[in-house]
Amino acid sequence: MPKGKYTVVIIPDEGEETKEFLLSRRWIKGIIYFSIIVVIGVVGLLVWSVPKAIDYNRVNTEHDSLKEKQLKVVELIRDLNRMKHIDNYIRNLLGVDLELPPVSEFGDSIRVKSSTSPKGPADIEDEIPISYLDNIPSHRPVDGFITQEFDKKKASLRDEHHGIDIAAKEGTGINASASGMVVFSGWTVKFGYLIILFHGDDYFSLYGHNQANFVESLQWVDRGQLIALVGQTGDATGPHLHFEIWKNGKPVDPSDYVMEYNNKELKGG
């Protein structure tokens, strides 16, 4: 064997021909140095990339958390704007302030203070009697199938839903869910012909997409009274009633108040 040379012998299985390779010391050193450099490079890459990956995951987690918080803020703003919208219906558009005094002070009544009195100053108060056993909106406004249930916490704010949709034949009668006063009866872009009732004790109910309204603002209605017809006006894809109940300025699930809507057979999707 030449000096400074090394022979690499490969002995295969099953009696095949043995193979030999003659390598110089320089080649072997080169292979060793190259292997060491590769190992050092891999270790260095891991040392550099692992913190980067950890930092990326942290930043990504913080971004998702911030995005979720932003969505919650936007949702709160939308709820606030919706509350202001209802308040504007009652106070600004109609020029009426509705005040529900404590029952212990005024008994079984609510007071409506008009700011549009023809007599001049806004100092005329009329008492409208109301039974507090009759003011909770629990009467079923229309017979039909629930096509969309109450859900105000959807991921997509565009689909945010503060009430339930009840599919019924167009022209079906809509009844007041409780006794109260009409604080809005008219047209809106989203709900078409819309009716909002105030029932006292901070209860409101909304009836949207109506074909026609049969009551006017400031009119008193009784529980179960016919107030409108089912339609598909406004932003609607088919005839149905959009029904909402608000309590203390917040939307609540109408199915919790109208027991018939808890029937699983009425929930069509």
* Highest-pLDDT range among 17-31, 38-52, 188-202, 251-265: 188-202
Per-residue b or e along 59-86, where b marks 16 or more CB atoms closer than 10 Å to that residue's CB:
eeeeeeeeeeeeeeeeeeeebeebeeeb
Read off the tokens for 214.
């049969």
CB of 166 within 8 A of CB of 254? no
pLDDT digits (tens, 9 = 90+) for 168-217: 999 999 999 999 999 899 998 889 999 999 988 888 999 999 999 999 98
Q: Give the distance between the most distant pair of CA atoms in the chain.
A: 126
The pLDDT score that the predictor gives to residue 146 is 92
**Whether this model's pTM surpasses 0.85:** no
Radius of gyration of the chain (CA): 37
pLDDT digits (tens, 9 = 90+) for 113-160: 433 334 333 332 344 455 656 788 999 999 999 999 887 665 344 455
Read off the tokens for 62.
């913080």
